[in-house]
Amino acid sequence: MSVTYTFPKGFWWGSATSAAQIEGASNVGGKGKSIWDHWYEQEPYRFYGNVGPTTASDFYHRYKEDIRLMKAVGHNSFRMSLAWSRLIPEGRGKVNREAVDFYDRVIDELLSHDIEPFITLFHFDLPMAMQYEGGWESRRVVDAYVEYANVCFKLFGDRVKKWFTFNEPIVPVEGGYLYDFHYPNVVDGRRAIQVAYHTIIAHARAVEVFRSLAIEDGKIGIILNLTPSYPRSQHPADVKASKIADLFFNRSFLDPAVLGEFPPELIDLLNEHGHVPVTQKGDAETVQKNKVDILGVNYYQPRRVKAKEHVPHPDSPFMPEWFFDHYEMPGRKMNPYRGWEIYEKGLYDIMLNLRDNYGNVESFVSENGMGVQNEERYLKDGQIQDDYRIEFFREHLKWLHKAIQEGCNVKGYHVWTFMDNWSWMNAYKNRYGLVYVDLETQKRTPKKSAEWMRAVSEQNGF
């Protein structure tokens, strides 16, 4: 097929996933418990179909087959995370040799297939031992994380050159401390803000350690789920609402990670409501000195907001929604299974914002994908005909291409995800993979979208 949209030479084509979502073997090979293992034991009924992380997609045992398949579907790069609770079962102290051997084998296997490993240090799966110490509310856990990062850099930095401190750090804040969809299921704005603050300090200190090790050709960054906030109208009240939503959900991590400082407007807002986090001397300097080399952008959907219609109840917990209401735009295009709006131009808007307001930081799309329920409906001649997913990728890539043409510093596009994986409380409700996984047999079968992505990668465009 002729290529209309060509991407820059050396563009990263691949996918992303996380340890807890694919590895399985959750109590095998000396692994300690994560908060997900613990929560599933406590409340299995909160997970779709009562399916927990015990087996997931069994990457732990099938990584060789999976990496061969990644190569076959055109990957030249792959982002995965390390499980802190596998590598250091108690969160600090003794390193688990079996885990080191496992990750060594995975990294070497990727490299032997010319697939560059991108490694995320933390993707939601805190060791339970660290949660018992107070989780991200505790500075001691920040210290333990920095030591864990140091161990990882030293073990794998000879082969891994792209590192990311956190994946979507706002999500454990939202899920664990505001909206009750991650453990420890706290609803408390003050504690949420402290968790967010400590995560940024942990990130900056890990960057500092990475730089001190002077890893040859090494780059370090963070993965943020940037969700543009669009106001319902240009009325000043709607515009103000969208700016506050942007402060809470995007700029809270984007500004310190890329610019080295917290947004003054956010500090003022928290001050006004008595919710400024507890800080330590030297924190601001640590954040200022340890800006990222590279930014991963996860994009799924826009956030549409409008001015508040009702004053929040004075006794209700402090929430970002004190300052805006969510707005459903008439005529929007939807993914009905996930309940998310599909708005491809959002990706372009994000990249222009990074170009114009964040020094055109080196970036890549680190996740973009579409989850669909009961995909077996689309099975024909032994293959899932997921044309809806191909359309999703293609239309986002058109806008990404336009952003690159207009000078945005974008280096790659990773889909979520390589194969159907376990998705937290949703388990296997919505499937996102290029490759179908039969949960009974663990058999892998590439979907139509895998063939499409392979062609895009081979031609470096479409």
Which residues are designated catalytic? 367
Residues 6+ apart with CB under 8 A from 203: 165, 166, 169, 222, 257, 290
CA 302/CA 371 separation, integer angstroms: 16
Q: How far is C-alpha 135 from the chain's CA centre?
A: 19
In the chain, the largest separation of any two C-alpha atoms, in whole Å, equals: 64
How far, CA to CA in Å, does 367 sit from each of 26, 224, 332, 355, 370?
24, 10, 22, 19, 10
Which residue type occupies 291?
K
Which alpha helices (H) appear in 251-311, and where do they start and end?
252-254, 264-272, 283-289
CA 415/CA 365 separation, integer angstroms: 8
CA 317/CA 179 separation, integer angstroms: 11
Number of helices and strands in the chain (H, E):
16, 19
CA 448/CA 432 separation, integer angstroms: 13
CA 159/CA 171 separation, integer angstroms: 29
10 Å CB burial of residue 374 (0-12, 13-18, 19+) is exposed
Residue among 330, 333, 169, 298 nearest 227 (CA): 298
